[in-house]
Structure 1
């Protein structure tokens, strides 16, 4: 199912794609905070630390002072959002849309609860 995005939400998909491509990571993510600032990240896997792209994007936003999220996007080859990343978004926004997109940027759907 393809979703129609606002220009601001389409920007999140673009940022997530760029983060994923830049590092060759499994996934990329981007979030927009309550002030309209955006944060992008790629998944990381280290011997001592593993974070999904969405967890890291939310952590970047929180470390910059964000208290609320408006929307998020994840670009991945997976067909579903990971539970850990979605839970991290829900810590700051119970109903913000989280868009799931394929590597080519095609939006497959959105989770809003």
Structure 2
């Protein structure tokens, strides 16, 4: 990860994770440079991982493309929702050990 804008997404995702106490947090930058954050939702009525939640928030704002997504916390099995929306989106996982993995 060499893009300074992606490093900002790491900061957004990790600070949201810490502040919220959630299992996962994700930060998304759209193709206009706007950023969005979300956490996972786990209730009997609704379950979203952080990637699904951040995409939902971004879609509500009318995004047309995704540049990059960083998620932190427990690993997500649902990154395919990001790739289904924009196949060119970069996706990174920031592990609890502090390592960034491109997906």
CA distance in structure 1 between the aligned counterparts of 2:61 and 2:32, rounded to whole angstroms: 11
Structure 1 ranges of 4+ moved more than 2 A: 103-106
Matched residue of 1:100: which SS? strand
CA distance in structure 1 between the aligned counterparts of 2:41 and 2:18, rounded to whole angstroms: 13
Q: State the 1:105 CA deviation.
A: 4.1
Q: How many residues align?
A: 103
Q: State the 1:104 CA deviation.
A: 5.6
Tell me what 1:66 maps to: 63
| TM-score for the superposition, normalised by structure 2 | 0.91
Which one of the candidate residues 76, 79, 88 is aligned to 1:95?
Answer: 88
CA distance in structure 2 between the aligned counterparts of 1:60 and 1:41, rounded to whole angstroms: 7
Please, which runs of 5 or more residues in structure 1 have no aligned partner? none
CA distance in structure 2 between the aligned counterparts of 1:30 and 1:13, rounded to whole angstroms: 7
